[in-house]
Amino acid sequence: MGCSSNINSRLNYNQVIKNENKEKRKDEYKELKQKEKKQLIKKEEYVKVNLKIPKGGKLKELELTPSEKEISQSVFNSLPKRTQTNFQTFKDIIKSKTEKLNQLQKSYVLFLWICDNISYDAKSYYAGLKVDCTLEGVFRNGLSVCSGYARLYKNIAFYLNLEVECVSCYSKGASYTVGKNMNETNHEYNVIKLNNKWYPVESTWGAGNVDGRYFKKEFKEIYFLPNPELLITSHFPKDDKWQLTKEKYTLEEFLNWPIITLSFYDYGFKSFEPKVGLIELKNCNMQKFIIYGDNMNHKVASCKIIFLYERQKFEQDNISNINYYNDRFEIDCI
């Protein structure tokens, strides 16, 4: 019994020593990594371009009251689906059902219906096939690209006595990569005049988004009358009169901004640093990114880094560190 007790004591002692050595090695490894990190981290340097950046603001400047929204939703629910009628009959029905609504409500009902009934024809777009963007074709097929969405909205809006225009723009959509030059416009959306002021209406992006090369139906109300100061970071009108912003910006400035969509602001974020989209690291292994907002230390963040090399994307995990503060995230990307 005594021999067994001594053996157990030695085993326990050896286990304690083993655990202490393990913890010591962990501490040494941690200290080594911290030293290596300090050597890697140098002052971030990136190409600084003399850019004007939109200052942002509220996500929307004009919104329906809860009562107006409820009534509009009810009218939308009473409208026939695209497959249940023809184009002219539908226009007569929506005109009749929205007759007692104000202009804001009419424009919202139309936005809801188009987003619900028309899908983006990603398959034809990426195959290089011609897409039918005629009014009858878009209504009949329920498929189109941006110009079909915009022209359908304008045509029906005119029938509802709304003042709407189509805007040709440079957009940072699914096929855009940072630093890519644009020689011609690649997108179309609408602007609508309400209370003697113009507002954007983006039913294509409101209907969903392209994931890979497939369209994913996902209604996004943020694209109905969004703040032009925010939308311009992803939609740059060819005619600067449709910028609808306090300051005028150049195409060169637009191309140098990061890709920021309205979802960024819808999540409650406010601004970001650095404010350039294309960063050239100089004698540095790390870049810091800062995302500003309210109550950030109560949010949860994840960071996905994608490297772009010769038009091929490579995703890397576990190469970033996120520090939480009340008013910001600081993301160190190694």
Within-domain flag for 304:
no
Is residue 135 situated within a structural domain? yes
Relative orientation angle of helices 146-159 and 87-97, to the nearest 10 degrees: 50
Cα angle 46-52-58, degrees, rounded to a multiple of 5: 110
157 falls within a domain: yes
Placement of tokens 């050595």 in the chain? 21
Single out the residue of 62, 171, 161, 66 nearest to residue 106, CA to CA.
Answer: 161
Count of domains forming the chain = 1
Residue 246: both structure tokens together: 């306090």
Evaluate whether residue 307 is within a structural domain.
Answer: no
pLDDT digits (tens, 9 = 90+) for 216-236: 999 999 999 999 999 999 999
pLDDT, tens digit, 9 for 90 and up, residues 285-296: 788 889 998 888
How high is the mean pLDDT of the chain? 85
**CA atoms of 136 and 91, how far apart (whole Å):** 12
Q: What's the pLDDT tens digit per position in 253-272?
A: 999 898 888 998 988 888 88
Q: What is the CATH number of the domain that holds 109?
A: 3.10.620
Radius of gyration of the chain (CA): 27
**Burial class for 16, CB neighbours closer than 10 Å (0-12, 13-18, 19+):** exposed
Q: Structural domain of residue 187, as residue ranges?
A: 66-260
Q: Taking the model in full, what pTM does it have?
A: 0.81
Residues in the chain, overall count: 334
